[in-house]
Amino acid sequence: MADLELGAVQERFADIVWEHEPIASGELVKICEKELEWKKPTTYTVLRKLCEKGILQNVDGVVSSLIARDDYYSGKSEQVIEESFDGSLPAFIAAFTSRKKLTDSEVEEIQRMIDTFRREG
């Protein structure tokens, strides 16, 4: 998978692309000017960096992703669990729930996910 080390600004930019893709690069410049207050060169610099990382592509002036948003954030989550919790999902959940109480609906949703995983393997 591509280099998932993106800063907050690069993630925000990728989110804009994911929200609008495929998008003409000129239109992307306009959106970034409005939402991020960037000049054209800044947009193209960040775009080039994300293309180099294998996250986005710019083909004939049309920008699209090489990695879907869900795949990016799933990979990033896996990276956090691997690096911070020695790959232990239970350790991550224990740490997360020690600071944030889950709602009944969140617990039910997680239980449904576990039940589905058990059925489907």
The domains found in the chain, sorted by start residue, are 8-69 (1.10.10.10), 88-121 (no CATH)
Written as six digits, the tokens of 100 are 């944030």
DSSP alpha helices (H): ranges in 1-121? 8-20, 25-36, 40-52, 69-85, 89-99, 104-120
Which residues, including other chains, have CB under 8 Å from residue 10's CB and lie 6 or more apart? 46, 49, 50
| Predicted pLDDT of residue 5 | 80
Please give the chain's pLDDT, 121 residues, in tens. Answer: 455 688 999 999 999 999 999 999 999 999 999 999 999 999 999 999 999 999 999 999 999 999 999 999 998 899 889 999 999 999 999 998 998 889 999 999 999 999 999 999 7
Which of 40, 41, 63, 42 shows the shortest CA–CA distance to 51? Answer: 63
Confirm if 85 and 92 have CB atoms less than 8 A apart: yes
